[in-house]
């Protein structure tokens, strides 16, 4: 029976488990944050060239007064010298399966600017970031968390970075309702596999709005991976607050998570990428093309386009577990008897977030599809739950072309074509 990745239902359950002592702490703490939404106090950075900053957290020698802790164990937080992005220390956050704790996080003690820039560096040691087998075993590592008004229900964060089965996923939830318990809509961006044992720098540019004029840009290690315009928050009186660390309710394969955080900065709308980015993270004019999410196979046809967008590889998916099986190389033979399942799907990996991807499959099965949002799956998905395809034995040719606009509109990018065989 197909394993369901009910991500939306799982997220909605983040704040609905009753009788957890630690969950009682948060509303009191949030109430303390709900003043001075635009009453920004500017700070002088340790790097004199950085401007318009409202917070800088370098963990030297520990947390400054700008950040607090949401931890409920003796081992949940530490300022460590074992690894650092800059300086001599970083924040070490740990969460274990034992007990009732669901979070170990640091939290910015004020609402964030309604238009601002945010930079941070995260380090995820491979020994503590094994991939969960169950898609419900997600981890949230960064939250721009909404502050509910009186009359609102408990809600998922409007903007969050999660780890789902070994992949980074940015989720945007929004609602225009004055009082809301559930989001009106949701956008997700698959940012590729988790990078382990290395510092990964993130820069967010956010203009909060529950209307169409919202803006969200995200850079990873100096390369832009998300550029989204549209609603990105709830209709609240106070802007979201920022948290980093580990939030996790469901445990499957693993029993402990550890993440390191360093070089955190928050700037207002007059600041820039260079003002908040960790030192040396790309250039002051960051590029709009990210690193390819997986190795590019040798294609039979790689038609050049004009948009700069590319399909760089195809990944065979286990549709029972929604996990990657392998990259499909040109000329490869897929032996069904050697695969973990016969319920498959194929994902096109692009060099950046694109408007849509047009698939054309021919051979033993002919099929065409336009996929409008990541992950770009040949046979589609629902909330990262891949639809199953049981391929017939025979030869196939698959071509995928990215477009800058939705529904195969705008400028065409560089397509990728591979041929492969399926055998018993």
pLDDT at 288 over 50: no
Could you give the CA distance from residue 25 to residue 10 in angstroms, rounded to a whole number?
Answer: 22
> Which residues, other chains included, contact 403 with Cβ-Cβ below 8 Å and sequence gap of 6+?
307, 309, 354, 355, 356, 357, 358, 409, 410, 411, 412, 413
Q: Which CATH number fits domain 311-423: 1.10.3470, 2.60.40, 1.10.443, 3.30.70?
A: 2.60.40
Mean pLDDT for the stretch of residues 141-169: 89
Band of pLDDT at residue 177, cut at 50, 70 and 90: confident
- Write down the pLDDT at residue 303: 53
pLDDT at 275 over 80: yes
pLDDT at 213 over 60: yes
361-370: pLDDT as tens digits = 999 999 999 9
Task: Give, in order, the Cα–Cα distances in Å from 73 to each of 61, 105, 170, 246, 362.
Answer: 21, 11, 28, 13, 56
Quote the strand ranges of 176-318, DSSP E: 185-193, 199-207, 215-220, 223-229, 241-247, 256-268, 311-318
- Write down the pLDDT at residue 260: 97
Band of pLDDT at residue 296, cut at 50, 70 and 90: very low
* Domain made up of 7-276: CATH architecture: Sandwich (2.60)
Mean pLDDT for the stretch of residues 149-166: 87
Could you give the CA distance from residue 48 to residue 279 in angstroms, rounded to a whole number?
Answer: 12
- Mean of per-residue pLDDT scores for the chain: 84
- Write down the pLDDT at residue 315: 92
Cα diameter, the chain = 67
- Write down the pLDDT at residue 226: 92
The CATH 2.60.40 portion of the chain extends over 311-423
Could you give the CA distance from residue 270 to residue 214 in angstroms, rounded to a whole number?
Answer: 17
* pTM of model > 0.75: no
Distance between alpha carbon 78 and the CA centroid of its chain, in Å? 25
Task: Give, in order, the Cα–Cα distances in Å from 75 to each of 79, 89, 91, 104, 247.
Answer: 11, 17, 12, 9, 15
Could you give the CA distance from residue 275 to residue 44 in angstroms, rounded to a whole number?
Answer: 11
The CATH 2.60.120.200 portion of the chain extends over 7-276
Could you give the CA distance from residue 109 to residue 335 in angstroms, rounded to a whole number?
Answer: 55
- Write down the pLDDT at residue 39: 57
- Write down the pLDDT at residue 307: 59
374-404: pLDDT as tens digits = 889 999 987 678 899 999 999 999 999 999 8
Could you give the CA distance from residue 293 to residue 347 in angstroms, rounded to a whole number?
Answer: 12
Band of pLDDT at residue 40, cut at 50, 70 and 90: low
Which among 199, 258, 280, 232 is positioned nearest to 112, based on CA atoms? 232
Cα atoms found within 13 Å of the Cα of residue 44, Cβ hemisphere only: 1
């Amino acid at each position: 029976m197909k394993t369901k990745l009910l991500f939306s239902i799982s997220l909605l359950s983040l704040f609905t488990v009753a009788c957890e002592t630690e969950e009682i702490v948060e509303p009191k703490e949030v109430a303390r944050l709900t003043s001075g939404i635009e009453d920004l106090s500017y700070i002088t950075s340790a790097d004199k060239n950085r401007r318009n900053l409202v917070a800088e957290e370098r963990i030297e020698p520990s947390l400054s007064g700008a950040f607090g802790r949401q931890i409920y164990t003796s081992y949940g937080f530490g300022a460590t010298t074992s690894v650092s992005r800059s300086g001599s220390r970083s924040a070490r956050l740990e969460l274990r399966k034992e007990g009732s704790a669901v979070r170990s996080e640091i939290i910015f003690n004020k609402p964030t600017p309604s238009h601002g820039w945010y930079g941070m560096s995260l380090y995820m040691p491979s020994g503590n970031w094994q991939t969960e087998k169950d898609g419900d075993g997600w981890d949230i590592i960064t939250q721009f968390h909404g502050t509910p008004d009186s009359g609102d229900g408990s809600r998922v964060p409007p903007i969050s970075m999660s780890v789902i089965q070994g992949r980074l996923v940015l989720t945007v939830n929004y609602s225009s309702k004055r009082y809301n318990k559930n989001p009106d809509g949701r956008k997700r961006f698959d940012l590729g596999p988790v990078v382990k044992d290395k510092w990964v720098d993130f820069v967010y540019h956010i203009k909060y709005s529950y209307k169409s004029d919202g803006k969200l840009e995200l850079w990873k290690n100096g390369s832009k991976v998300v550029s989204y315009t549209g609603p990105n928050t709830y209709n609240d009186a106070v802007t979201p607050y920022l948290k980093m660390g580990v939030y996790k309710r469901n445990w499957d394969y693993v029993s402990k998570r550890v993440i390191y955080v360093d070089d955190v900065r928050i700037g207002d709308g007059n600041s820039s990428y260079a003002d908040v980015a960790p030192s040396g993270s790309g250039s002051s004019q960051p590029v709009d093309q990210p690193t390819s999410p997986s190795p590019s196979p040798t294609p039979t046809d790689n038609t050049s386009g004009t948009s700069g967008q590319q399909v760089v590889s195809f990944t065979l998916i286990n549709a029972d577990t929604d996990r990657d099986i392998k990259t499909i190389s040109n000329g490869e033979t897929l032996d069904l008897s050697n695969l973990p399942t016969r319920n498959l799907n194929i994902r096109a990996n692009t060099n950046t977030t694109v408007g849509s991807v047009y698939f054309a499959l021919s051979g033993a099965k002919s099929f065409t599809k336009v996929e409008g949002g990541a992950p770009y799956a040949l046979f589609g998905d629902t909330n990262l739950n891949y639809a199953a395809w049981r391929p017939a034995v025979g030869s196939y040719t698959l071509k995928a072309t990215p477009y800058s606009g939705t529904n195969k509109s705008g400028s065409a990018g560089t397509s990728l074509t591979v041929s492969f065989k399926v055998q018993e």
